[in-house]
Amino acid sequence: MNSGRHRVLMDAGSIVGKSYMIQQKVVEEIAEVREQDLEASDRTYESETSSGEEESAEPDEDLDKRLPPIAHLLEELSQEQYNRLKNILKKKHVHAFQKDKRDIGLTNLIEHEIQLLPGPQPYKETLRRLNPEKQRQAAEQVEDLINQGVVVPSKSPWAAGIVMANKKEPGTG
């Protein structure tokens, strides 16, 4: 999956990952849960449109900030369909969107495997020096990733140094 905004061209026959077949029972369970979610969201929408909005744990404007931009869909949806979509996203699927910039999410639905050529020798890149401020930022970010369970400490013979890059400000091209 390319989650970026730019196209990625790859040579024919490139291996980008490996997927594994899951048991049919799991597929059926997922389909059943999705069906129940749709039925529940329909009931929620009907009860809310007839008796007012339910109270949410998060203020409405905070939820709106977390949702992806969907205003462009007003060109293709009626106002009722748009409101229903927004309601479903807020009430049932808000967990699928970032809470803040450090909430990068995890999944265990797929495993990734990097296949190496036979007989590889471990590669360990030399460390790049960082100025004290960037060293502090790097340590903070690594600590955050460890605390979130995204990365784990390793003593692997394979290693690559950290490359710190300044992020472009929005609108600067």
CATH of 102-168, one of 3.30.160, 3.10.10, 3.10.20, 1.25.40: 3.10.10
CATH 3.10.10 intervals, the chain: 102-168
Summarised one tens digit per residue, pLDDT across range 103-162 is 776 677 788 888 888 888 888 888 888 999 999 999 998 998 888 888 888 888 888 888
What is the DSSP code (8-state) at residue 156?
-
pTM score above 0.85: no
Here the tokens at position 169 are 């400000």
- pLDDT of 51 higher than 70: no
Find the Cα–Cα–Cα–Cα dihedral 53, 55, 57, 62, rounded to 10°: 40
Query: Which of 123, 121, 66, 52 lies closest to 97 in space, CA to CA?
Result: 66
Three-state DSSP state, 106: coil
